[in-house]
């Protein structure tokens, strides 16, 4: 699908590249209440002009309670022969508890989609060495995506799923029948590509295990980020810069066990000039210096806003000088993150608060525990 030319009387050179575009949206009920994707679809559709039909997608958490202990693999196939070969590959390492083609319906603007299947799997008894279950799943995903050119594993977490493709996000929602699903956390993306082609695997969200990332901006440090991640066994096959963010999140938060507030200082660290002004010998100066030295290759250069999600948590983060927009809003137990405040107010006109986070400072929404729900005042928020 080709981009439509945007008529603009103030653009005499006909340059229709809008580098500030892409729409992102996130909605999380921190009480754990599950809700349909209807409002999220309305919100992302309200930012239609930020996209061009070359990519849209959704990440949903709490979606498969009947298979909550299984890895849910969403896989795109170009042909049935490849599906047969991939299923044989899966059976070698996993027990497939259930498999089916993902239900779809005809939708406006969706042309020549791949066949999409989902597999609910658990590890068999042949797990090698000291690999954790998550490590092995990542390893197998990387093998599929580098070995089978007509297959793409694009979602692999437990009790969550990614649905994405070439089209506007509201059309992708209709195609995958997302009005029939419920989850406690939804993220959404409408894509206006900057440097990469639009294809089904290259739409957002990008995901590994239950980590998902939707992104507005451009990661100009993609090359060094990619080379660093490849040392840890990650293979970038999606032909887009955002993929490195998903793998970097998995590396830092899951494998290196850093809290999100610290990982944010890796992705969007203070300038050296600011660190040098901190008190000599202070703990803050030592921490920031160490992070910049140890993880210098994971610094994300360029303008960006991301919404990162995983089980029980949704995070919004911008680059340190805030070159891409992010609006946060709250009402009751619900946290909203969006490229535009209008999209939030469309579905929640009576917000209790709305604000623009500081550059490089994460907004974090977390599921409240039963104890928190019993003891917290009505307006208390699990947001830091």
User: Quick one: pLDDT at residue 358?
Assistant: 93
Residue 21 has a pLDDT of 79
22 is catalytic: yes
Domains of the chain: 23-375 (3.60.20.10)
* Tokens linked to 271: 């300038």
Spatial separation of the C-alpha atoms in residues 362 and 268, rounded to whole Å: 10
Q: Which of 138, 141, 183, 189 is nearest to 160 (CA)?
A: 183
> What pLDDT shows up at residue 381?
42
pLDDT on residue 383: 44
Written as one string, the DSSP assignment of 325-368 is: --EEEEETTEEEEES-HHHHHHH-TT-SEEE-PPTT--EEEEPP
Within 8 A by CB and 6+ apart from 371, the residues are none
> In 126-277, which residue ranges form alpha helices assigned H by DSSP?
133-147, 169-175, 222-230, 242-249, 260-267, 272-276
Longest dimension (CA), the chain: 65
Residue-wise pLDDT tens for the chain (384 aa)?
333 333 344 444 455 545 467 999 999 999 999 999 999 999 999 999 999 898 999 999 999 999 999 999 999 999 999 999 999 999 998 999 999 999 999 999 999 999 999 999 999 876 666 789 999 999 999 999 999 999 999 999 999 999 999 999 999 999 999 999 999 999 999 987 566 778 899 999 999 999 999 999 999 999 999 999 999 999 999 888 999 999 999 999 999 999 999 999 999 999 999 999 999 999 999 999 999 999 999 999 999 999 999 999 999 999 999 999 999 999 999 999 999 999 999 999 999 999 999 999 999 999 997 555 444 433 334 444
Per-residue model confidence (pLDDT) at position 20? 60
Let me know: does 222 contact 238? Beta carbons within 8 Å. Answer: no
Write down the pLDDT at residue 12.
Answer: 47
The model's pTM is 0.91
The candidate with the shortest Cα–Cα distance to 85, out of 137, 133, 147, is 147
Reference 313, options 256, 242, 254; nearest CA is 254
């Amino acid at each position: 699908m080709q981009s439509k030319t945007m008529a603009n009387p103030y653009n005499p050179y006909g340059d229709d590249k809008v580098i500030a575009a892409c729409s992102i949206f996130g909605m999380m009920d921190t009480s754990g209440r599950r809700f349909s994707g209807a409002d999220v679809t309305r919100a992302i559709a309200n930012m239609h002009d930020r996209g061009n039909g070359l990519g849209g997608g959704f990440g949903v958490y709490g979606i498969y309670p009947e298979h909550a202990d299984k890895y849910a693999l969403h896989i795109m196939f170009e042909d049935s022969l490849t599906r047969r070969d991939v299923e044989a590959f899966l059976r070698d390492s996993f027990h497939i508890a259930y498999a089916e083609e993902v239900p779809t319906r005809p939708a406006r603007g969706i042309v020549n989609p791949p066949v999409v299947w989902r597999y609910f799997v658990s590890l068999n008894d042949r797990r090698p060495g000291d690999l954790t279950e998550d490590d092995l799943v990542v390893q197998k995903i990387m093998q599929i995506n580098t070995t089978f050119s007509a297959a793409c594993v694009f979602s692999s977490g437990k009790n969550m799923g990614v649905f994405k493709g070439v089209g506007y996000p509201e059309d992708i929602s209709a195609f995958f029948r997302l009005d029939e699903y419920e989850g406690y956390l939804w993220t959404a993306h409408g894509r206006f590509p900057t440097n990469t082609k639009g294809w089904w695997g290259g739409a957002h969200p990008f995901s590994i295990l239950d980590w998902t990332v939707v992104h507005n901006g451009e990661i100009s440090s993609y090359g060094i980020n990619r080379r660093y991640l490849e040392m840890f066994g990650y293979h970038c096959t999606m032909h887009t810069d955002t993929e490195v963010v998903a793998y970097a999140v998995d590396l830092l938060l899951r494998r290196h066990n850093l809290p999100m507030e610290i990982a944010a200082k890796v992705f969007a660290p203070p300038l050296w000039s600011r660190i040098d002004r901190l008190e000599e010998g202070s703990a803050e100066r030592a921490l920031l210096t160490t992070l910049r030295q140890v993880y210098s290759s994971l610094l994300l250069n360029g303008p960006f806003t991301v919404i990162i999600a995983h089980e029980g948590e949704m995070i919004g983060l911008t680059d340190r000088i805030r070159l891409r927009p992010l609006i946060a809003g709250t009402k009751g137990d619900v946290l909203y993150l969006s490229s535009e405040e209008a999209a939030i107010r469309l579905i929640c006109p009576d917000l209790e608060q709305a604000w623009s986070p500081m550059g490089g400072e994460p907004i974090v929404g977390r599921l409240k525990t039963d104890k928190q729900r019993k003891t917290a005042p009505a307006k208390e928020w699990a947001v830091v």
